[in-house]
Homo-oligomer: A and B are copies of this chain.
Amino acid sequence: MNQLHRPIAIGALVAGSLALCTAKAVAQDQLADMTKDANQWVMTGRTYDLQRYSPLTQINATNVKNLHAAWSFSTGTLRGHEGNPLVIGSVMYLHSSFPNKVYALDLSKPGAPQIWQYTPEQDANVIPIACCDVVNRGLAYHPSGKLYIELLQGDLLALDAKTGKKIFQVKSADFHKGETMTNAPLVVKNVVLTGISGGEFGVRGRITAFDAMDGHELWRGYSTGPDADVKISGTPNANYPSMQGKDLGVSTWQGDEWQHGGGTTWGWYSYDPKLNLFYYGSGNPGTWNPDQRPGDNKWSMTIWARNPETGEVKWVYQMTPHDAWDYDGVNEMVLFDTKDGKKLLVHFDRNGFGYTLDRTNGKVLVANAYGPVNWAKSIDLTTGRPVEDASKRTTAKGNTEGICPAAIGFKDQQPSAYSPKTGWSYVPTNNICMDYEGVEVKYAAGQPYVGAIVRMFPGPGGNRGAFIAWDPTVGKIMWSDKEGLASYGGALATAGDIVFYGTMEGWLKAVDAKTGKLLWQYKTPSGIIGNPMTYVGPDGKQYVAVLSGIGGWAGIGVAAGIGAEDPTAGLGALGAFGDAGSFSTQGGVLTVFSLDSPGTAAK
């Protein structure tokens, strides 16, 4: 962990100052300052804006063909591996799928040996409660030297980044009620923001904020219920009449269904330090059977802007009122500014539309389909509501066939990247459609509350996914690379004019940012549903790292060993992606790449 010889001054300064930090002394923007050092990767999306963009250029479109594996590391768990490691100073921090092991690896030594590892003790009874594999999307770091991970069983765990010793572990969710935790927390100043999963168990979605130092709860903001619970004090969204009024989180539901109303919060969170707002999406309303919950079901399927310190809602925007397709709105909001200073966000929703919003006020500027959507013709920019095709609205009265996209969306958890250099988003997508039939279901705490039978299948063209470039200012696909299976891992864009993404077969690919041309690929041990990231090691060389480890919703067939006999199994994923073992094998492995000859590691 010798920081003195690091070539980049900012990294050295930040790391060197850690020892001096106390809780109170942490500068308001210290974590934001750390993101200015492109050599490090200190939060899940590298920067608060979730652009997953690196200014590094050592590896670029010209030389990426010479990239090769530099070292590799097994996480010791088999199930699906979403997310990506962090690099702080000369240490890499890595998480695993359940039971959410955490590792610190010493990048200053050949092969990056372990500094410490921590295996949380968790109740294995939580495993069947996780709807779509026992994934975890990664760690968050606080400049006082703390790491945070959300444990599947419902705890926020804080570790000492230097020693791996537990600092605190606080209960936030109760898996006996179907509440689990899978997403990467977001640290803003001294606040740790966490979400919950469990939309298939009739949970009530919320964000819970904890004090970064001792883990005491600071606030909780629900997705459904009275404004006081939701933390709405003003007009929810001044742009759209249907999003104005009091307690819409109650009145847009029948009876007390809002109490089991879903709106989970397991996606990626972004943050704008100047506006002091963080952005995230809420998931499906419970149940999946729309006939059981007349109304808009606010605020499921919604984009949120909240104050991280108080939880106060600045604005909300509901994308899919009265969802009938499980089009969770949890996908990430990527923040970017236009050259003329507009503060925007771009979001690729499960419902198949790519939205560009004014992030100061929740007004939709662009909303175009980024795949062959047929459940809605368009998004009406005046009302903010979709213009539906009535024949594709599902019901419990019968099976509705041939809906595009499927419940898993044209994009699910796999985070997109945005390059300020090209001004484009890079989006890993699914091309999956479905048949959907609502089913009457009764709520019982901790029992599945799905209420639908879904059969998923490849969309038009037969390819099950594509990796696309998208201009968010006009809402247009700039190029598209077809994939045999879904691109169910995240994207990484770099100033080297290349974009990285993974495939469910296990290929990590580098493509030209301007044309999508395949420049390089490597077959990792297992299917990739994690996110590539990049950093500069203590040796001054740029590395690219990616977790492989098939699983997640798309890979549940392999992860849970389910055969493809029943295409509705795995909430429909088996029909979409085929049977266990047909395209990949289980196992969590980080593979790290560089341009350097591995032979030079022999010293």
Which residues of A pack against B, CB within 8 Å?
64-69, 71-78, 103, 110-114, 117, 119, 505-507, 509, 518-526, 548-549, 581-591, 597-602
Q: Which of B75, B112, B525 touches A523 (beta carbons < 8 Å)? A: B112
Q: Is the CB of A71 within 8 A of B523?
A: yes
Partner of A522, one of B67, B71, B77, B114: B71
Given A75-B587, A548-B74, CB of A113 within 8 Å of CB of B505: yes
Within 8 Å by CB of A66, from B74, B523, B599, lies B599
| Contact present for B599 and A74 (CB under 8 Å) | no
CB pair A591–B72 under 8 Å, yes or no, is: yes
A74 adjacent to B586 (CB under 8 Å)? yes
- Set of chain B residues within 8 Å of A112, measured between Cβ atoms: 523
The residue on B at minimum CB distance from A522 is: B598
Q: Can you list 25 A-B contacts with CB-CB less than 8 angstroms, sorted by A residue number?
A: A64-B599, A65-B602, A68-B68, A68-B597, A69-B591, A73-B525, A73-B585, A74-B585, A75-B585, A75-B587, A76-B587, A78-B587, A111-B505, A113-B505, A113-B583, A518-B602, A520-B601, A520-B602, A521-B598, A522-B601, A523-B601, A525-B525, A525-B589, A587-B589, A589-B589
B residues within 8 A CB of A549? 74
The CA of A591 and the CA of B506, in the complex, are separated in Å by: 13
Cβ A114 vs Cβ B581 within 8 A: yes
Whole-angstrom CA separation of A582 from B523 in the bound complex: 28
Q: In the complex, which residues of chain B have a beta carbon less than 8 angstroms from the beta carbon of A71?
A: 522-523
Question: Is B585's CB under 8 angstroms from A523's CB?
Answer: no
Shortest beta-carbon distance from A364 to chain B in Å: 38
A520 touches B589 (CB 8 A): no
Count of this chain's copies in the oligomeric assembly: 2
Would you call B67 and A69 a contact (CB within 8 A)? no
CB distance from A366 to the nearest CB of B (A): 33
> CA of A410 to CA of B526 in the docked complex: distance in angstroms?
35
Let me know if B506 and A111 touch, CB within 8 A.
yes
Residue of B nearest to A601 (CB): B521
Residues of B within 8 A of A522 (CB): 69, 71, 598, 601
Residues from chain B with a CB closer than 8 A to the CB of A75 are 585, 587
**In the complex, which residues of chain B have a beta carbon less than 8 angstroms from the beta carbon of A525?**
72-74, 525, 589-591
Residue of B nearest to A600 (CB): B65
Given known contacts A111-B505, A523-B111, A581-B114, is B589 in contact with A72 (CB within 8 Å)?
yes
Residue numbers in B under 8 Å from A582 (CB-CB): 114
* A507 & B111 in contact (Cβ 8 Å cutoff): yes
Chain B residue, CB-CB nearest to A112: B523
A81 to chain B, nearest CB (A): 11
B523 touches A74 (CB 8 A): no
Nearest chain B CB to A262 CB, angstrom units? 33
Q: Is the CB of A598 within 8 A of B67?
A: yes
Nearest CB in chain B: distance from A76 CB, A: 4
Residue of B119, B506, B519, B585 near A599 (CB, 8 A) is: B519
Question: How long is the Cα–Cα vector from A581 to B113 in the complex, in angstroms?
Answer: 11
The distance from the CB of A167 to the nearest CB of chain B, in whole angstroms, is 20
Q: Closest 7 interchain pairs by CB?
A: A65-B599, A74-B587, A111-B523, A74-B525, A69-B69, A71-B523, A76-B585
What's the nearest-Cβ distance from chain B to residue A412, in Å?
A: 22
Nearest CB in chain B: distance from A124 CB, A: 14
A526 cross-chain contacts in B, Cβ below 8 A: 74
Which B residues touch A591, using CB under 8 A? 69, 72, 525
Q: Which residue of B lies closest to A117 (CB)?
A: B581
Contacts of A111 in B (CB 8 A): 505-507, 523
Chain B residues with CB below 8 A from A590, complex form: 525
A538 CB to nearest chain B CB (Å): 16
